[in-house]
Amino acid sequence: QGDSKDIDSEVESICPFCGVGCQVSLKVKDGKVKYVDGINGPANEGRLCVKGRFGFDYIHHPHRLTKPLIRREDAPAKGLNVDPENWQEFFREASWDEALDAAANGLGGLRDTHGGTAVAGFGSAKCTNEEAYLFQRLIREGFKHNNVDHCTRLCHASSVSALIENVGSGAVTATFNEIENADVAIVIGANPVENHPVAATFFKQFTKRGGKLIIMDPRGQALARHATHMLQFKPGADVSMLNAIMHVIVEEGLFDTQYIQAMTENWDEMRARLKDFTPEKMEPICGIPADTLRAVARDFAGAKAGMIFWGMGISQHIHGTDNSRCLISLALMCGHVGRPGTGLHPLRGQNNVQGASDAGLVPMFLPDYQSVTEDSIRNHFTEIWGSGDFSDQKGLTVTEILDAVHEGHIKGMYILGENPAMSDPDLNHAREALAKLEHLVVQDIFLTETANYADVILPAAAFYEKSGTVTNTNRQVQMGRPATQPPGEAREDWEITVALAERLGLNWGFTHPSQVFAEMKKGMKSLDNITWERLERENAVTYPSLSPEDPGQAIVFSDVFPREGGRARFTPADVIPPDELPDAEYPMVLTTGRQLEHWHTGSMTRRSKVLDAVEPEANCSLHPRTLKMMGVEPGGMVRLITRRGSIELMARADRAVSENMVFVPFAFVEAAANVLTNPALDPYGKIPEFKFAAVRVEPAEAK
């Protein structure tokens, strides 16, 4: 923190990291952000975590892209690591006109020769709602199909698929701040202290005033200290544990008959399917004593108001949709939806993953989750856009797009603000796909690992350099404002997409994101009563907002669900084991995730001085006894090997992981966790199983 007299201006915006969406005040001096304070946003009430407070200086890093770049004709092979300080061997600087022409000619040429499906797009959950909307419009309108996706596929796609199926909407039913009114809360497959730190402070407060917190996770975590129950279950055994808890609720008659009769369907089948999941039978499968399962069932069902929060420990499995189905059923049978202190809340990862999904950056849905297969819906959008029709086929998802590149069906890509060369499972396979592309346009703020494969690189503005709205995990649409100028010739993403669209024959005519927001409102009922002007005035409005004065509904589905017939549905789930079980060759379980100080693929936080100083080195966590058995000291090097590849990195002793498990954060390019991960997909959400792979761990020589 600095001295308020020592700044030129203060700008209110939104933290660009996680889905909590903390509001910030950016203190600017001489065109640079000097420090950041939290302000009184609805999600953070003045609080910030270490990333929000200290992780802003990446925007001023000398590695920022400042000019468009075009791959040199005599450049070495695509995919070789390009030094961000010494890239001239690979790329040459170009004017914006030349670079945009090259991008449009490359992608447009593939479209004209092979058809629109030869080109696909990955948009970004780090961009604004308006930018996400324009990106999906460009692919749909410009290439006439739906091969457009973004990283929601890799985080909560299975949660969204289960929520849409069973409650009719993919967003949370209550804000996380509603925990204030709850008596009991389950946090499962999430580590809020590391990944949603400001939300975690509300969870801790809840326990201080007597709320019962139930943590369920194969890994221990800091929040467990505050918990009434900590269920450290066996990795991948979520469904068996949750079904056993629901079995007890049925067996002991703890369910809410009135709610079930009035608000749900398929209860009889659900009840019948739970019959065999006795706690005694499930105990050896999930590793949780039957008595504990019974106690948790009684605490949750017996509470007046209960909430369920979950993270990627639930979603990133081949049974991720089944995991979420179980959580939805658990809440429904207890009547814990639609009242103060109740609700279902998948904690969204990136700052705008909710908004980007709402804006249609997904292959099966137009904005507001309206199906691309419905003629009337497509017609509505082509009317708004003044364009011809596009494909009624659901498009391919992130991992399917890269498979289609391998198969030769997709030959060109436009990638905005995503880093699949670090974030996709089975990275060697993903990187080979990127190398095969005939034309790749990358739009980003740094020369990312994905940019190593680019033909054209378009330099973009960072979040604190642009205007636009974002939507957090709470459904709060919030206004982001520019505090500083983009470096060099970098431009805001929406401007670049508009300019590229123009060269592809789409003359949209947008000159400000507020115009894009106004167009979005024509196709998105969720934005009713929310206007750009209102957001400029109020900073945040929760959707749905029932009138121009209504700050928005923190709790939804009090008397009706947005499904045909108005009822929520119970969808039973059976136990499906993880795709790749440990065996003699690969005897341990690999799981991946994030750390407090680093964000996703590390392109921003590893260029932030404070955050990089706190957590500078690629690391993994192993139980002290496992390290001892291997003869490795804490801090020593280990090699992790799966069927897909191997990495070497420093090992930490950590009692939070069990003896047969290794945890690896995925932010470190020098030991990229996703070289190891399994690309097997959940059949509904098409999300890969990042949370479980068979791995062998052995000592490695220190480098």
**Which residue's CB is nearer to ligand SF4, number 15 or number 461?**
15
Total residues interacting with ligand SF4, rule: CB under 6 A: 14
> Of 27, 51, 623, 644, which lies in the binding site for ligand SF4, with binding defined by CB under 6 A?
51
Q: Binding to ligand SF4 (CB under 6 A): which residues in 227-256? A: none
Q: Which stretch binds ligand SF4 (CB under 6 A): 15-23, 181-189, 298-306, 326-334?
A: 15-23
Separation between Cα atoms, residue 488 and residue 486, nearest integer Å: 7
Considering beta carbons, is residue 352 or 450 the nearer one to ligand SF4? 352
Q: What 3-state class would DSSP assign to 534?
A: helix
Q: Closest separation between CB of residue 245 and ligand SF4, Å?
A: 29
Phi, psi of 459 (to 5 degrees): -80, 125
Residue (315 or 351) nearer to ligand SF4, CB: 351
Give least dist CB 472 to ligand SF4, A: 8
Check residue 22 for interaction with ligand SF4 (CB under 6 A). yes
Q: Are 175 and 337 in contact (CB under 8 A)?
A: no
Considering only residues 68-127, where is the footprint of ligand SF4 by CB under 6 A? none
Q: Say how many C-beta atoms besides its own lie within 10 A of residue 408's C-beta.
A: 10
Stretch (H or E) spanning 260: helix 257-263
As a whole number of angstroms, the distance between CA 385 and CA 253 comes to: 54
Instruction: Tell me how far apart the alpha carbons of residues 534 and 678 are, in angstroms, rounded to a whole number.
Output: 45
Q: Is 48 in the site for ligand SF4 (CB under 6 A)?
A: yes
52 binds ligand SF4 (CB under 6 A): yes
Question: What H or E segment, with its residue span, contains residue 406?
Answer: helix 398-406
Instruction: Report, in Å, the least distance between residue 47 CB and ligand SF4.
Output: 7
Subset of 295-314 contacting ligand SF4 (CB under 6 A): none
Q: Which is nearer to ligand SF4, 33 or 657 (CB)?
A: 33
How far apart are the C-alpha atoms of 145 and 363, rounded to whole Å?
A: 9
Binding region for ligand SF4 (CB under 6 A) out of 196-204, 255-263, 279-287, 359-367: 196-204
Instruction: Report the residue number, 599 or 663, with the smaller CB distance to ligand SF4.
Output: 599
Q: How far is the CB of 35 from ligand SF4 (least distance, A)?
A: 13
394 by Cβ neighbours in 10 Å (0-12 / 13-18 / 19+) ranks as middle
Q: How far is the CB of 151 from ligand SF4 (least distance, A)?
A: 16
Q: How many other CB atoms are found less than 10 A from the CB of residue 276?
A: 11
Going by their DSSP bridges, the two strands 439-444 and 412-416 should be labelled as parallel
Q: Is the Cβ of residue 201 or residue 391 nearer to ligand SF4 in the bound state?
A: 201
In the complex with ligand SF4, which residue's Cβ is closer, 140 or 156? Answer: 156
Q: According to the binding rule CB under 6 A, does residue 462 interact with ligand SF4?
A: no
Query: Which is nearer to ligand SF4, 312 or 318 (by Cβ)?
Result: 312
Segment contacting ligand SF4 (CB under 6 A): 19-27, 363-371, 486-494, 634-642? Answer: 19-27
Evaluate the CA torsion angle 189, 192, 194, 195 in order and state its sign.
Answer: positive
Whole-angstrom CA distances from 16 to 32, 443, 485, 667 are 16, 17, 16, 16
354 token code pair: 């909710």
For the bound state, the minimum distance from the C-beta of residue 127 to ligand SF4, rounded and expressed in Å, comes to 16
As beta bridge partners, residue 26 has 11, 36
Instruction: Say how far residue 361 (Cα) sits from the centre of its chain.
Output: 13
Question: Minimum distance from CB of 612 to ligand SF4 (Å)?
Answer: 16
Least distance (Å) between residue 158 CB and ligand SF4: 22
Q: Decide if residue 49 touches ligand SF4 (CB under 6 A).
A: yes
Residue 197 touches ligand SF4, criterion: CB under 6 A: yes
**CB 22 to ligand SF4: min, Å:** 3
CB 488 within 8 A of CB 469: no
Residue nearest to ligand SF4 (CB): 52
3-state secondary structure 6-45: HCCEEEEEECCCECCCCEEEEEEECCEEEEEEECCCCCCC
Say which residues have a Cβ less than 8 Å from residue 407's Cβ, sequence separation at least 6: none
Q: Which of 647, 681, 679, 686 is nearest to 664 (CA)?
A: 647
The residue range among 14-22, 295-303, 332-340, 567-575 that interacts with ligand SF4, by the rule CB under 6 A, is 14-22
Question: Does the protein bind ligand SF4 through residue 21 (CB under 6 A)?
Answer: yes
**DSSP labels, 418-466:** --HHHHSSSHHHHHHHHHH-SEEEEEESS--TGGGG-SEEEEB--GGG-
Could you tell me whether strands 688-689 and 184-188 are parallel, antiparallel, or unpaired per DSSP bridges? unpaired
Of 15 and 555, the one with the shorter C-beta distance to ligand SF4 is 15
Interacting stretch for ligand SF4, rule CB under 6 A, among 46-54, 86-94, 144-152, 681-689?
46-54
The footprint of ligand SF4 on residues 603-632 (CB under 6 A) is none
Tell me how far, at minimum, the Cβ of 510 lies from ligand SF4, in Å. Answer: 28
Rounded Cα distance between 147 and 136, Å, is 9
- In the complex with ligand SF4, the residue whose CB is nearer, 37 or 538, is 37
Q: How far is the CB of 237 from ligand SF4 (least distance, A)?
A: 29
Vertex 150, ends 675 and 189: CA angle to 5°? Answer: 65
- Sole residue written with tokens 């007046």: 304
| Minimal distance, residue 534 CB to ligand SF4, in Å | 22
Token pair listed for 16 = 């660009």
Does 15 participate in binding ligand SF4 (rule CB under 6 A)? Answer: yes
For residue 539, the 8-state DSSP code is: S
- Cβ pair 373, 76 in contact under 8 A: no
Torsion angle (degrees, nearest 10) of CA 296, 301, 307, 313: 40
Stretch that binds ligand SF4, among 42-50, 232-240, 363-371, 662-670 (CB under 6 A): 42-50
Name the minimum Å distance from CB 685 to ligand SF4.
24
- Rounded to a whole number of angstroms, the minimum distance from the CB of residue 15 to ligand SF4 is 3
Q: Binding residue for ligand SF4 (CB under 6 A) from 26, 110, 155, 198?
A: 198
Binding site for ligand SF4 (CB under 6 A): 15, 17-18, 20-22, 44, 48-49, 51-52, 196-198
